[in-house]
């Protein structure tokens, strides 16, 4: 088992997890500290490529080709003066200041990278989240998830195969064969349903003649309404729009079992569906639970101080969905949103610099700029938060433009204004010559 140590006296910073916050932080640290030789920056990530997680529902529906929007970690590392090491963290030795990274295997099950250990001076854990099945019977065996690009691409292949089978026979073979049941009435489930409705119409336009009446989309939510964490007026507007699209909305329905043929709820209702998607909740990866004595909550999230340091080790920080950061003047912790990870990455860069210079660390104060839910080309709804105006509900084109700007902010943090502009122009040209959906 190899141990990778620093070959010089530079301060060694390891970022584990290349999601939105982790990659943004590694990029800025590399450009500011790695380039000038003030520190050595290493990003450890299991995947070879990055895609912004809020786009995964589009990958799953086939309206976004992940291979056109993905970022190669090796290339980003070379451009931004940090080092990328592929692998999945699975252990921590705080006394040695060392993390353990599991072996990496290829599709044949052959080991291509052995187990390694990495020493650190400062460790930032940004491993994101995974779906929380709450121990419900049948979820792992019969549901699809949208935690990774690979899962989203697998879902898209399942959709294509279902349509091809029905097209070849002229109709579905059995009840529920083309039905998609989505468990979870949050943003992910709603956005996926809207995209799938659009895709069903596009397939027909491209010659896969499947009747819209043969396709049924359902959203199942345990709470009394969709989007329970957002204002009720946004929920109401969303439900109205989904109703126009023919999406069945089932609220106050708690799932108790998932089978091959469908979903059973506590009320006795059974929803038949060949394809079942689980988007009902998240948790941090299981390996974090009480890892080497660090404090974690029931969702495996690392409990943090306001400085984003873990409560039991000042040299270990965390950000994003795997972090339980106190939300000042609110009960509970900062919600797991992309905007929170973006803000935390910005503060962590400042705090790491302060730590290196022996200055006091700043506390993180979450600024909620509102929430937006995209219903594809049909609509976008949400609310914007302001210190003077409070909460303003927005819909339609304005909301859509604000929603798209969030992704541009992510690209700006990684590439800067010039490359982001070039990428936007390139994307517009691609969209003009490629099909609107991925057809294979």
The predicted-structure confidence for 63-73, as pLDDT tens digits, reads as follows: 877 777 889 99
Indicate whether 130 pLDDT > 60. Answer: yes
Indicate whether 296 pLDDT > 80. Answer: yes
pLDDT for 388 equals: 42
- Residue-wise over 169-194: b if at least 16 C-beta within 10 A, else e? eeebeeebbbbbbbbbbbbbbbbbbb
Q: Measured in whole angstroms, how far is the alpha carbon of residue 315 from the centre of its chain?
A: 26
Q: Closest Cα partner for 48 from 61, 34, 67, 64? A: 67
Averaged pLDDT, 245-250:
92
Whether 440 maps to a domain, the answer reads no
Of the candidates 281, 301, 335, which is a domain's last residue? 281
Indicate whether 360 pLDDT > 60. Answer: yes
The pair phi, psi for residue 213, each rounded to 5°, is: -65, -20
CB-based burial label for 197 (10 Å; 0-12, 13-18, 19+)? buried
pLDDT interval class at 206 (50, 70, 90): low
Averaged pLDDT, 55-69:
83
Element (H, E) at 343: helix 338-356
Cβ atoms of 184 and 227 closer than 8 Å: no
Averaged pLDDT, 16-43:
96
Q: Are 53 and 125 members of one domain?
A: yes
Lowest mean pLDDT among 95-109, 110-124, 173-187, 275-289: 173-187
Q: Are 288 and 277 members of one domain?
A: no
pLDDT interval class at 28 (50, 70, 90): very high
**Which strands sit side by side in the sheet containing 122-125, from one edge to the other?**
83-86, 39-45, 11-16, 122-125, 313-318, 309-310
Whether 204 maps to a domain, the answer reads yes
Element (H, E) at 414: helix 396-433
Whether 63 maps to a domain, the answer reads yes
Q: Are 67 and 174 members of one domain?
A: no
Averaged pLDDT, 225-253:
90
Domain span at residue 386 reads 370-432
Whole-number Å distance between alpha carbons of 16 and 13: 10
Q: Are 113 and 11 members of one domain?
A: yes
Q: Are 401 and 349 members of one domain?
A: no
Cβ-based neighbours of 186, under 8 Å, separated by 6 or more:
226, 227, 229, 279, 280
Indicate whether 23 pLDDT > 60. Answer: yes
Indicate whether 273 pLDDT > 50. Answer: yes
Cβ atoms of 265 and 256 closer than 8 Å: yes
Indicate whether 276 pLDDT > 70. Answer: yes
Indicate whether 36 pLDDT > 70. Answer: yes
pLDDT for 368 equals: 81
Query: pLDDT tens across 384-400, in order?
Result: 665 444 566 666 667 66
Q: Are 148 and 263 members of one domain?
A: yes
CA 186, 189, 190 angle in degrees (round to 5)?
80
Contacts of range 103-111, beta carbons closer than 8 Å, 24 or more positions apart: 104/46
Q: Are 147 and 251 members of one domain?
A: yes
Whether 87 maps to a domain, the answer reads yes
Averaged pLDDT, 125-135:
95
Whether 361 maps to a domain, the answer reads no
pLDDT for 304 equals: 97
The terminus-to-terminus CA distance of the chain in angstroms comes to: 41
The better pLDDT of the pair 200, 288 is held by: 288
Lowest mean pLDDT among 27-41, 116-130, 267-281, 326-340: 326-340
If one counts the domains in the chain, the total is 3
The better pLDDT of the pair 429, 167 is held by: 167
Whole-number Å distance between alpha carbons of 312 and 123: 13
Q: Closest Cα partner for 152 from 256, 260, 69? A: 69
Indicate whether 380 pLDDT > 90. Answer: no
pLDDT interval class at 271 (50, 70, 90): very high
Q: Are 388 and 261 members of one domain?
A: no
Element (H, E) at 394: strand 390-395
Q: Are 95 and 208 members of one domain?
A: no
Q: Are 176 and 88 members of one domain?
A: no
Averaged pLDDT, 373-384:
71
Averaged pLDDT, 347-353:
97
Cβ atoms of 144 and 182 closer than 8 Å: no
Percent pLDDT > 70 in the chain is: 86
The pair phi, psi for residue 163, each rounded to 5°, is: -65, -40
Give the CATH number of the domain where residue 247 resides.
3.50.50.60
Q: Are 288 and 375 members of one domain?
A: no
pLDDT for 175 equals: 63
The pair phi, psi for residue 183, each rounded to 5°, is: -95, 115
Q: Closest Cα partner for 13 from 363, 351, 291? A: 351
pLDDT for 389 equals: 45
Q: Are 117 and 219 members of one domain?
A: no
Largest CA distance in the chain: 71
pLDDT for 413 equals: 86
Indicate whether 7 pLDDT > 60. Answer: no
Q: Measured in whole angstroms, how far is the alpha carbon of residue 106 from the centre of its chain?
A: 24
């Amino acid at each position: 088992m190899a141990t990778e140590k620093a070959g010089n006296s530079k301060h060694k910073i390891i970022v584990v997890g290349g999601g939105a916050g982790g990659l943004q932080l590694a990029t800025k640290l590399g450009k500011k500290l790695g380039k000038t030789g003030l520190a050595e920056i290493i990003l450890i990530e299991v995947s070879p490529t990055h895609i912004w997680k809020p786009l995964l529902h589009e990958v799953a529906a086939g309206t976004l080709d992940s291979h056109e929007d993905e970022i190669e970690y090796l290339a980003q590392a070379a451009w931004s003066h940090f080092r990328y090491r592929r692998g999945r963290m699975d252990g921590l030795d705080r006394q040695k200041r060392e993390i353990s990274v599991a072996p990496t295997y290829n599709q044949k099950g052959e080991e291509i990278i052995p187990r390694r250990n990495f020493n650190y001076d400062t460790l930032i854990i940004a491993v994101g989240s995974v779906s929380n099945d709450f121990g419900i019977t049948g979820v792992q065996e019969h549901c699809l998830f949208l935690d990774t690009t690979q899962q989203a691409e697998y879902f898209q292949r399942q959709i294509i195969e279902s349509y091809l089978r029905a097209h070849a026979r002229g109709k579905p073979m059995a009840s529920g064969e083309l039905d998609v049941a989505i468990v979870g009435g949050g943003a992910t489930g709603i956005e996926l349903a809207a995209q799938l409705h659009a895709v069903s119409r596009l397939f027909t336009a491209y010659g896969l003649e499947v009747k819209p009446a043969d396709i049924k989309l359902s959203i199942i939510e345990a709470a009394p309404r969709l989007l329970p964490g957002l204002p009720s007026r946004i929920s109401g507007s969303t439900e109205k729009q989904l109703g126009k699209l023919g999406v069945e909305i089932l609220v106050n329905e708690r799932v108790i079992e998932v089978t091959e043929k469908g979903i059973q709820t506590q009320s006795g209702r059974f929803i038949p569906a060949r394809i079942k998607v689980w988007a009902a909740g998240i948790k941090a990866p299981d390996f974090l639970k009480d890892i080497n004595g660090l404090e974690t909550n029931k969702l495996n999230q690392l409990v943090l101080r306001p400085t984003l340091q873990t409560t039991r080790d000042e040299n270990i920080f965390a950000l994003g969905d795997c972090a339980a950061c106190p939300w000042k003047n609110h009960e509970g912790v900062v919600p797991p949103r992309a905007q929170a990870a973006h803000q935390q990455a910005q503060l962590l860069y400042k705090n790491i610099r302060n730590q290196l210079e022996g200055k006091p660390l700043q506390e993180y104060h979450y600024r909620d700029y509102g929430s937006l839910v995209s219903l594809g080309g049909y609509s976008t709804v949400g609310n914007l938060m302001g210190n003077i105006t409070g909460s303003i509900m927005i819909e339609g084109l304005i909301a859509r433009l604000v929603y798209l700007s969030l992704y541009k902010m992510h690209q700006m943090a990684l590439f800067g204004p010039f490359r982001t502009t070039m990428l936007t122009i390139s994307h517009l040209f691609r969209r003009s010559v490629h099909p609107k959906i991925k057809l294979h």
